[in-house]
Structures are given as C-alpha cells and as structure tokens.
C-alpha cells in the first residue's frame, strides 16, 4: 500500500498527488500489479519518504495499449495544435516550479538551489523549445528527379515510444524523452528509475492538466529487469530511448533488436578536462571543481579526468584541492549547502571502493572519505582529488559517478589530446587555452559529442546532447533530437495526365 513516509510538507509539498499510486496510465494514477513494493528514500537522511507498488508486466501492457489507442488521434493533430498544448504545458510547469524543485531535491539529494536554478528552469525552457519546434517539422521541398515525376519527403511520427530514464536527473531526463516524442506526434510510455519516480509522475500529471490527451504520456514505475525489459521488447513499441550505463545499454540494444525497433542510446561518460599551459589557471581550477562536483559527480558529462600540461600541473593540483576543501556538504534544503549526498548508500560505497583501491597506485590529495557527525546517516562523500594515477588504471578508465576528479600531467599538445581520447567513452570534454588555434584543434580532434572551450557543463535546449563511441548514439534536445522521433517517407507523383506505359513496357514488354 502507499505510504506517505516521513517527509514534512515543507520538504515534499506535492506528496498528496501520489496517494493513488505510482503508475500513470491513460491519464490517471493507479497502483502497480507486481505484488512488490519499493520505497523512495531521502538520501540525505536514509528515511523512507514514499512507498509504492511496483509496476509489473500487466501495467506495461496497459500503458502501451493506452499509448497505442491515443496515437492515431494525437498523430492527426496539426503542428500548431501540438505547439499550443506544449505552451500550456510549459505554463503549468512554471506555476508548479517549487513543487518540482522540492520533490527533485528530496528524492535525489540535490541541493535545492540546484533544482531551483538548473533542473526545473531547464525543463521549462526545454518544454517551451519543443512547443516552438513542433511547428517546424519539415520534410524537403518538391523536386523533379526522374523524368515527369515529382518527389518530396514527409517526416511522420513513429508510433509508441518506450523510454527508460535514469535516477541522476529524473525530471530533465523525463522531459528530454517525452517532449520531442510527443511534439513529433508520437505517444510514449516512460519508465523512470524506481529510486526517483516522483517528478516524472508530476510531469505527466502537469501534461494532463495542460490538456494533453489521456494516453499520450504514460509512466510505469518498476524494475529494469521486469518492467524495463518488457517495455523494450514489447511488439507494439516502435522505438526505444534509453539513458543509463553502457553495460545496461548493451542489454537494451540486445532486447530491442529482437523486434527491430528504432533505438536511441545515451550511455556512460568519462569526460576529459584538458588544461594547456597557456590557460587561465584560476578559471580552470574553478571550472574543474564545478564541473566535477555538479550533482555530486553523478553526471555523465561531469569532468572526471583532468589532464594538465606539466608547467601548470602542481599548481593546479594544489589550488583545486584547496578549493574543493571549501565546498560545503549539508542538508539539500539548507541555503548554504553546496553539495548533497549521493543517490544511495550503495552508490556511496561503490564510489568509496574506487577511491580505496586507488590508494595503492595513486595519491589521494583531499577527500576520500564519508563525513561523520550530523551527516553520518546520509549517503555523503567528501569531494575527492586524486593525482598521479596511471592512464590505464581503473580510476582513470572506469565511470565512477561520484565527486571524484583524477588529475594527470602531460607534456606536448599531441599527448594531451591522445590521452583525452584514450577511453571507450566520448560523451563530453573540455579544453582550456587562451590560444584560439590550440582550442580549435581540440574541438576538431577530441572525439566527443560536445567539446566546451574554457568552460565545462552548461547545456542549452537549442543544441544537441549525445555521444560518440561507447557513449551511445542519437541526440537529446535540439532539432536533431526532434528528428530522431520521426521516420522519413519518400512520396513520388507521376505528373502526366494519363499514366505512361513506357516504364512498364520496359519491364514487361507490350501486352
């Protein structure tokens, strides 16, 4: 049964919205049918704040059926009608911004100032962007490419989209998957992470309240093994979009292949942060701390590997460690908190394991431990700087997903760029230099979906997000994302008044 848990109304003002369950199917909340429950835990305190029934395969079937039923009507709406609905949706989100910010902070442990200033405004902006983009879904102009025939290209919705979102940015990931899909005329079933379903459910409720028809957006909250795999393999799902780790992404691809569906994967990252010897050192130090600790390091684009040209190396290590030591850990709802907990004690222990193993081959300059005192019950871990690790070591090559930055020296520019590219991942990177030619070379030669120059981490709705190599394929946000959720059709007209027989005669002869 549903349990409101221990969260106060101040921390969780929207909790009454979840009284009927954590599955949102055909416009209403329902309880899951798996026979098992799951608790949303406040990672700052370890306390359960909401317990709900998990989705089973029957719930997935019901959600897909609702999406399939809604698809013909939604696909038939004009771009202007979909645009108007998304503009109303953005207005509802803005009216409920504080509810979203607090629910996101509660379930993820994010500082409230981060959700207020980044997660929620970014989601509203993304909704407004796709409200405009809905009017600009274009094919190609007509042309005569074969005799008396005219050809043109139509872009059409695909059908029911089945999406799986991660726990690190549950609200934004829900938006990145839902908005381009429905703007293009598709319907969707989204499975959020079972740790963090609250804002995805609020998002779907807000869409319904804005007038988006029942069944266009559906949410099933269950485990990846049961609900997720069933959704990906469902024969009535035409496209799968997944954000998460590379190993799980490989499994998603394997299941999706059986039904030959469209696949969109945004996977792991291990972003390099390359500092050339002519960089502004103080700017680079501040960029490294912010870029590595954003969302407690639980960000696939976070700066994780700093390569610093040798003349600046020791100064960079010393100043970065000193700045990290000023970062304030604390209650996510406290105004002075800079860094919240990791998502869970399991994740904290995983991060600690990476650091503890690295002590045998590298130097832990600062951090490397969980705080005690008032924070001992939460999933906190101190900002950690590690120096002098080998390029092929675990701490350099593996995705840690925590507040850990590894710093390595390099000599020439060739070496710096080579080291930046020397992992399986290619999601994001940054290069720091005052020389435009060096910077331009870095943007050209670093193999990543995004390369920042003299900055690290900002994103905007108008520009795509997505990776190279083992970081997956396909784009989120931007017009590129919009096109991912369409299929291309070639239409060809014979322009003669009477159908010509020349072509047929060539094939079949006179008859």
- 3-state SS record for 118-167: HHHHHHHHHHHHHHHHHHHCCCEEEEEEECCEEEEEEEEECCEEEEECCC
pLDDT in tens, 270-284: 999 999 999 999 999
Asked whether the beta carbons of 86 and 184 are under 8 A apart, the reply is: no
pLDDT in tens, 421-441: 999 999 999 999 999 999 999
| pLDDT (mean) for 31-54 | 96
**pLDDT (0 to 100) of residue 366:** 98
Per DSSP, the residues of 182-248 read: HHTT-EEEEE--TT--HHHHHHHHHHHHTTPPTTSEEE----IIIIIHHHHH-TT--EEEEES-HHH
pLDDT higher than threshold 50 for residue 3: no
Q: Which of 53, 104, 194, 266 is catalytic?
A: 266
Indicate the range of 226-235, 425-434, 498-507 predicted with least confidence: 498-507
pTM of the predicted model, to two decimals?
0.94
Distances, alpha carbon 257 to alpha carbons 71, 186, 260, 440, in Å:
23, 21, 5, 39
Question: What is the share, in percent, of the chain residues with pLDDT greater than 70?
Answer: 96
pLDDT band at 1 (very low <50, low <70, confident <90, very high): very low
**pLDDT (0 to 100) of residue 388:** 95
**pLDDT (0 to 100) of residue 197:** 97
Asked whether the beta carbons of 439 and 445 are under 8 A apart, the reply is: no
Question: Options 3.40.605.10, 3.40.50.720, 3.40.50.150, 3.90.1150.10; which CATH number does 23-136+156-267+477-490 get?
Answer: 3.40.605.10
DSSP 295: G
**pLDDT (0 to 100) of residue 6:** 58
pLDDT higher than threshold 90 for residue 157: yes
| pLDDT (mean) for 317-337 | 97
CATH annotation of 272-453 = 3.40.309.10
Q: What is the largest CA-CA distance in the chain?
A: 93
Q: If 0-12 CB within 10 Å is exposed, 13-18 middle and 19+ buried, where does residue 119 land?
A: buried
Query: In a 3-state reduction of DSSP, which class is residue 264?
Result: strand
Strand partners, 428: 450
pLDDT higher than threshold 50 for residue 123: yes
Sequence-distant (6+) residues with CB within 8 A of 321 are 365, 366, 385
Distances, alpha carbon 292 to alpha carbons 218, 267, 273, 297, 466, in Å:
34, 18, 9, 6, 19
The token pair that represents 478 in the structure block: 């931007």
**pLDDT (0 to 100) of residue 11:** 85
pLDDT in tens, 158-209: 999 999 999 999 999 999 999 999 999 999 999 999 999 999 999 999 999 9
Q: What are the domain boundaries of the chain?
A: 23-136+156-267+477-490, 272-453
Per DSSP, the residues of 325-386 read: TT--B--TTSTT-SB---S-HHHHHHHHHHHHHHTTTSEEEE--S---GGGTTS-----EEE
Tell me the pLDDT of the chain averaged across its residues.
94
CA 321 to chain centre: 29
Question: What is the share, in percent, of the chain residues with pLDDT greater than 90?
Answer: 88
More confident residue, 95 or 503: 95
pLDDT band at 4 (very low <50, low <70, confident <90, very high): very low
Per DSSP, the residues of 62-106 read: HHHHHHHHHHHHHHTS-HHHHHHHHHHHHHHHHHTHHHHHHHHHH
pLDDT band at 2 (very low <50, low <70, confident <90, very high): very low
pLDDT band at 81 (very low <50, low <70, confident <90, very high): very high
Output the 3-class SS for 446-498: CCCCEEEECCCCCCCCCCCECCEECCEECCECHHHHHHHCEEEEEEEEECCCC
pLDDT in tens, 366-408: 999 999 999 999 999 999 999 999 999 999 999 999 999 999 9
pLDDT band at 51 (very low <50, low <70, confident <90, very high): very high
Distances, alpha carbon 9 to alpha carbons 15, 38, 49, 102, 203, in Å:
8, 21, 11, 10, 19
Within 13 Å, how many C-alpha atoms sit on residue 191's CB side? 30
**pLDDT (0 to 100) of residue 471:** 96
CA distance 146 to 140: 16
Tokens 């504080």 correspond to what residue? 98
**pLDDT (0 to 100) of residue 17:** 86
53 included as an active-site residue = no
């Amino acid at each position: 049964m549903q349990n409101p848990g221990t969260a106060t109304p101040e921390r969780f003002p929207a909790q009454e919205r979840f009284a009927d369950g954590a599955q949102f199917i055909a416009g209403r909340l329902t309880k899951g049918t798996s026979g098992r429950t799951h608790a949303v835990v406040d990672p700052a305190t370890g306390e359960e704040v909401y317990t709900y029934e998990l989705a089973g395969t029957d719930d997935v079937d019901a959600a897909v059926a609702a999406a399939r039923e809604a698809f013909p009507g939604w696909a038939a709406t004009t771009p202007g009608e979909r645009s108007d609905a998304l503009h109303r949706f953005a207005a509802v989100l803005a009216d409920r911004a504080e509810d979203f910010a607090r629910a996101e902070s509660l379930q993820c442990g994010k500082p409230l100032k981060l959700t207020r200033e980044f997660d929620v405004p970014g989601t509203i902006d993304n909704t407004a962007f796709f409200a405009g983009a809905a009017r600009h879904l274009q094919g190609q102009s007509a042309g005569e490419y074969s005799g008396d025939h005219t050809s043109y290209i139509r872009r059409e919705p695909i059908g029911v989209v089945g999406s799986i979102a991660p726990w690190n940015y549950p609200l934004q990931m829900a938006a990145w998957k839902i908005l381009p899909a429905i703007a293009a005329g598709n319907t969707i079933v989204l499975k959020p992470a079972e740790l963090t379903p609250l804002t995805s459910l609020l998002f779907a409720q807000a869409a319904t309240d804005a007038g988006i028809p029942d069944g266009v957006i559906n949410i099933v909250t269950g485990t990846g093994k049961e609900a997720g795999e069933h959704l990906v393999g469902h024969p009535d799902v035409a496209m799968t979009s997944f954000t998460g780790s590379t190993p799980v992404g490989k499994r998603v691809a394997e299941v999706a292949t059986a039904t030959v569906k469209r696949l969109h994967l945004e996977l792991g990252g291990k972003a390099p942060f390359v500092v050339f010897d002519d960089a502004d050192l103080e700017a680079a130090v501040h960029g490294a701390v912010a870029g590595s600790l954003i969302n407690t390091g639980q960000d696939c684009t976070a700066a994780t590997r700093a390569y610093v040209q040798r003349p600046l190396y020791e100064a960079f290590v010393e100043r970065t460690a000193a700045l990290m030591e000023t970062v304030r850990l604390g209650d996510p709802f406290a105004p002075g908190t800079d860094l919240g907990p990791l998502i869970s004690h399991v994740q904290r222990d995983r991060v600690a394991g990476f650091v503890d193993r690295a002590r045998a081959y590298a130097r832990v300059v600062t951090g490397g431990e969980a705080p005690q005192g008032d924070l001992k019950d939460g999933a906190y871990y101190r900002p950690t700087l590690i120096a002098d690790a080998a390029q092929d070591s675990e701490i350099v090559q593996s995705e840690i997903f925590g507040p850990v930055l590894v710093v390595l020296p390099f000599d020439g520019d060739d070496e710096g760029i080579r080291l930046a590219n020397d992992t399986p991942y290619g999601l994001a990177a940054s290069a720091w230099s005052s020389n435009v030619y060096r910077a331009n070379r870095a943007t050209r030669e670093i193999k990543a979906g995004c390369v920042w120059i003299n900055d690290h981490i900002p994103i905007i709705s108008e520009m795509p997000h997505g990776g190279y190599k083992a970081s997956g394929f396909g784009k989120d946000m931007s017009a590129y994302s919009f096109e991912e959720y369409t299929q291309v059709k070639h239409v060809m007209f014979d322009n003669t008044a009477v159908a010509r027989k020349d072509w047929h005669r060539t094939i079949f002869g006179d008859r």
